[in-house]
Amino acid sequence: MAAKPFASSADLGVKEQTLEVLADGVYALTAEGDPNLGAIEGEDFLVCFEALATPVAARRWLARLREHTDKPVRYLVLSHYHAVRVLSASAFDAEVVVASEQTRHLIAERGQQDWESEYGRMPRLFEEPESIPGLTWPTLTFRDRLTIELGGDRGELVLEFLGRGHTEGDIVAWLPEQEIVFAGDLVESQAALYTGDAFHFDWAAGTLDRVKALGAQQLIGGRGAIARGRDQVDAAIEQTRDFLLTMQRTVGEAHRSGGTLKDAFAATHAALAPKYGAWPIFEHCLPFDVQRLWDELSGIERPVIWTAERDRQVWDELQG
């Protein structure tokens, strides 16, 4: 059997992007499993939620958004530090780039390595990579919570750190009046999870509980379809939790019983594939996911930095 191509390096299929209006002045762009985006209108400004990998890619989203509103972007909110969510920031011409303090720290600590790693893993998302001017630096950071008054009768937008999860510093954007949450990569709806930089135990417990407790009627996850109504919102959250708990069980068993990383990977693949195997980026993510959980179980508190070399090493060991 031929070896599987590295990560998503062979995924070249263009995805269709769909802009949806979730409420008056609230927009989401989904893309068949590619990273989702959001935007919220204030009275005389825009808040954009998440960027993409390159300015050229982001300009296409902004052109779609400009069919609905020409308000200037005051805030660009970054849910976390991953390259495909931040490196296009310059295209937004935002007055303020907002992230958690933890995200700022992670960009300083590992932003460059993450850029190189993600570019190697999924080159298709890096459209015209030379248009990236450099790392993206937040200009406004907060630890737990930041509220943006939208003006008029539009209510407020609450940015909140709900605990460690997909990374050490993920935030969600919550519209309490419209009951809409942009959950970033903390929740995936019908898409596989990337947990290579995650805190599996915090994420599956308190962090997801707090996302659920918001009581959203619409949820936009990091990838995949928009969840509408409490049933779908809860299903997306519980799908995310089930993925994490299944990993905890299979990787945990192999780790406890003196098995190898390869054993853990095989058991996890077998347990997850029937339910999640056909979803976007499943094969791409799983080796990195299992390696990180293995590290966590081995007492490595903070995720080891992924470099292009470490990516290949882990891939060759588990998927090669």
List interacting residues with Zn ion (CB under 5 A): 82, 185
What's the min distance (Å) between Cβ of 222 and Zn ion?
Answer: 6
Contact 31, 18 (CB under 8 A): yes
User: Considering the complex, what minimum distance in angstroms separates the CB of residue 114 from Zn ion?
Assistant: 9
Shorter beta-carbon distance to Zn ion: residue 103 or 178: 103
Query: For the chain, what is the radius of gyration of the CA atoms?
Result: 19
34 vs 41 by CB, closer to Zn ion: 34
Is 154 or 200 the residue whose CB approaches Zn ion more closely? 200
Quote the least distance from Cβ 289 to Zn ion, whole Å. Answer: 12
Pick between residue 178 and residue 291 the one whose CB is nearest to Zn ion: 291
**Strands 96-100, 218-221: pairing kind:** unpaired
How near is the Cβ of 308 to Zn ion at its closest, in Å?
17
Q: Which of residues 53 and 233 has its CB atom nearest to Zn ion in the complex? A: 53
* Cα dist from 262 to 267, 308, 320, whole Å: 9, 20, 11
Residue with smaller CB distance to Zn ion, 82 or 241: 82
CB of 167 to Zn ion, least distance (A): 7
Roughly how many angstroms between the first and final C-alpha of the chain, as a whole number? 10
Task: State in angstroms the smallest separation of the CB of 275 from Zn ion.
Answer: 21
Query: What are residue 256's phi and psi, to 5 degrees?
Result: -65, -35
C-beta neighbour count of 123 within 10 angstroms: 17
Name 191's Cβ contacts closer than 8 Å, sequence gap at least 6. 33, 221, 222, 223, 224, 279, 280, 281
What is the number of the residue whose Cβ is closest to Zn ion?
Answer: 82
Beta strands in 42-84 (DSSP E): 46-49, 73-77
Q: Which two tokens stand for residue 153?
A: 């009768």
Nearest Cα residue to 37 out of 169, 174, 223, 181: 223
